[in-house]
Amino acid sequence: MIEFGETADVGRRIGMFTTIFAAGALVGPPISGAISVATGGFEAVGYYAGSMVLLAVALLCVVRQLVLGGRLWGKI
């Protein structure tokens, strides 16, 4: 986190980081519960969780390509 900019802004960046993760922690369990109740089991919840992980990986790859300017390997 410190390498992203000025050291005076570390607290702000960490706060933004945890706020984004908190949104997922608040929304995920009710969605999983609704899927479980609607389908009567946890198999569909596993598919939902797995698809969210794959979506996150795909978005991270897209952002990496945008930041690196189309290069496959390299540092920012």
Query: Is residue 2's pLDDT more than 80?
Result: no
Residue 2 CB partners (closer than 8 Å, separation 6+): 10
Helical spans, DSSP H, in the chain: 10-39, 43-68
Q: What percent of the chain has pLDDT over 90?
A: 51
Tell me the per-residue pLDDT of 6-59, one tens digit each, with 9 for 90 and over.
778 888 888 988 998 899 899 999 999 999 999 999 999 999 999 999 999 999
Using CA atoms, how far residue 36 sits from 26, 30, 46, in Å, is 17, 10, 10
Predicted local confidence at residue 24, as pLDDT: 87
Torsion, Cα 68 74 21 51, to 10 degrees, reads: 90
Selected residue with higher pLDDT from 67 and 34 = 34
Is the distance from CB of 16 to CB of 1 less than 8 angstroms? no
pTM: 0.71
